[in-house]
């Protein structure tokens, strides 16, 4: 990590002391941020959906108390993932 990286991290902590920040390091020209993997290839950036290795593919049952939008997302997610890849 460079001094510049630590300076930015300290600035964030000083600006928002109640928030916790973590640093991720680039590996093999890739870094995951939120739900996206960002890759560098030559002069371009490529974006892909990041799925944690601990993903269980568990779905919400239709008779659960979750909001309807969450239940529908469990059906849309695999369809969207197949369309993207």
Per-residue model confidence as pLDDT tens for the chain (85 residues) = 688 888 988 898 899 889 887 778 888 889 887 788 899 988 899 998 877 777 666 767 778 888 888 777 767 766 655 555 5
The distance of Cα 65 from the centroid of its chain, to the nearest Å, equals 26
Per-residue confidence (pLDDT) for residue 20, from 0 to 100: 82
Per-residue confidence (pLDDT) for residue 69, from 0 to 100: 84
- Give, rounded to a whole angstrom, the gap between the first and last alpha carbons of the chain: 33
Per-residue confidence (pLDDT) for residue 23, from 0 to 100: 77
| CA distance linking residue 41 with residue 34, whole number of Å | 20
Residue-by-residue DSSP string for 17-65: TTS-------BTTEEEETTEEEEEETTEEEEEE---TT-------TTSS
| CA distance linking residue 27 with residue 17, whole number of Å | 29
């Amino acid at each position: 990590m460079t001094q510049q990286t630590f300076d930015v991290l300290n600035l964030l902590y000083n600006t928002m002391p109640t928030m916790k920040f973590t640093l991720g390091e680039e590996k093999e020209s890739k870094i995951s941020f939120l739900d996206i993997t960002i890759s560098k290839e030559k002069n371009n950036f490529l974006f892909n959906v990041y799925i944690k290795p601990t993903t269980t593919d568990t779905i919400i049952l239709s008779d659960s108390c979750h909001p309807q939008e969450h239940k529908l997302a469990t059906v849309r997610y695999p369809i969207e993932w197949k369309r993207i890849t």
